[in-house]
Amino acid sequence: MRKAVKALKVGAVAKRLGVSATMVRSLEKLGLAKPARTHSKYRLYTNDDLRVLRRAIYLRRVQRLNASAILNQLKQEGLLQYRAASSVEGQWSNGPQFRKLRLRCGKSLASVANAVGVSKGFLSNLERSRTSASNSILWKLARHYGLNNLDLFNPVDGTGPLVRARDRKSVEGGPGLQMELLASGKIAMEPQLFRVAPGARSGASYSRDGEEFLYLVRGRLDIELGGEKFQLRVGDSFYFSSKIQMRWSNPGNTETVALWINTPPTF
């Protein structure tokens, strides 16, 4: 019988696994660990965390799997089932905020669901943090309540001109999409770093007021803008009016990274 391991801090976990503390935190961001926090904000990892992280590192080093493939493999092996509920809750903690906004406005589930084009059951599950939503749905909800999407999340710490990489706020924008906010506060344009998993897509077409610019840093990105299709590759840039209906997808087998700038800010 394996001896129980007491809760460990990130440094001790990194030493046991033979990786850097930065690597442990990166794996945690993928949802592979859900450490508790002390009053001093230190992470405390459990036996389950160590087991999943160890397996993830093996899949990366030995089988050369990318992040998306590692997640799929761990799900198939049943190693992520024990934290499924907490993972959803952690990534979609803004669900209860949607409920508060709706009740404050005196609106019913049915009326809001109909206004943004989703089912009543879906909206109910989102408000209870039981499901995720695509970027376009989050966007429509924020607009329905007269907000920028940034109002639904914690902004970047500080409002000065410099934002350190370690201080960037990361927002889950839907299945397979992670957005790193590169600035916050009273800003006229909103720069983000889009990280799009293989096969991820925006969902339904969407539009808004304003203009947008993006520069493809890594991977591939397909964009449909006003019915016209574009295939972006590394080094390509793309500028368009946000009023035109658009949607995007990552058709490749690796993560896509793009610098995406909106004006006026949407998040």
User: Percent of the chain beyond pLDDT 70?
Assistant: 76
Rounded mean pLDDT of the chain?
Answer: 78
pLDDT at 219: 96
Neighbours of 6 (CB within 10 A): 8
**DSSP state, residue 133:** -
Q: What is the three-class DSSP state of 239?
A: strand
Across the range 56-70, mean pLDDT stands at 73
pTM confidence score: 0.49
Task: Please give the pLDDT value at position 160.
Answer: 66
- Given a cut of 90, whether residue 74 has pLDDT beyond it is no
Number of domains in the chain: 3
Residue 5 lies in a domain: no
Say if residues 14 and 24 touch (Cβ distance below 8 Å): yes
Task: Tell me, yes or no, whether 79 and 119 share the same domain.
Answer: no
Give the separation between CA 132 and CA 208, rounded to whole angstroms: 22
Give the pLDDT of residue 82: 43
Structure confidence at residue 166 (pLDDT): 79
Q: Which of 150, 171, 190 is the last residue of a domain?
A: 150
Is 3 inside any structural domain? no
The DSSP annotation for 65-123 comes to: --HHHHHHHHHHTTSSGGGHHHHHHHHTTTHHHHHHHHHHHT--HHHHHHHHT--HHHH
Query: Which of 166-198 are b and which e, b meaning 16 or more Cβ less than 10 Å from the residue's Cβ?
Result: eebbebbbbebbbbbbbbbeeeeebbbbbbbbb
Looking at residue 111, what is its pLDDT?
93
The whole-number average pLDDT for the span 103-121 is 89
- Average pLDDT in the 225-236 region? 96
pLDDT bucket at 35, cuts 50 / 70 / 90: confident
Q: Does some domain include residue 72?
A: yes
The SS3 assignment for 141 reads helix
The residue among 117, 150, 183 that closes a domain is 150
Answer yes or no: is pLDDT of 4 > 70: no
Please indicate, yes or no, if residue 1 is contained in any of the structural domains.
no
18 C-beta neighbours (distance < 10 Å), count: 10
Confidence band for 3, pLDDT divided at 50, 70 and 90: very low
Residue 143 scores a pLDDT above 60 = yes
3: number of Cβ within 10 Å = 5
* pLDDT in the model for residue 25: 79
Stronger pLDDT, 105 or 75, i.e. the higher one: 105
Q: What percent of the chain has pLDDT over 90?
A: 25
pLDDT at 24 (0 to 100): 84
Count of beta carbons in the 10 Å neighbourhood of residue 139: 22
Point out the domain boundary residue: 83, 100, 124.
83
Same domain membership, residue 227 and residue 158: yes
Q: Which helix (H) or strand (E) holds 49?
A: helix 47-61
* CATH code assigned at 78: 1.10.1660.10
pLDDT at 126: 80
Domain boundaries, position 52: 10-83
| Closest-CA residue to 28 (of 4, 16, 44) | 44
Residues 174 and 234 in one domain: yes
Confidence (pLDDT) at 257: 96
Confidence of residue 39 (pLDDT cuts 50, 70, 90): low
Q: What is the CATH number of the domain that holds 207?
A: 2.60.120.10
Q: Which two tokens stand for residue 240?
A: 């368009």
Stated as kind and residue range, the H or E segment containing 180 is strand 177-181
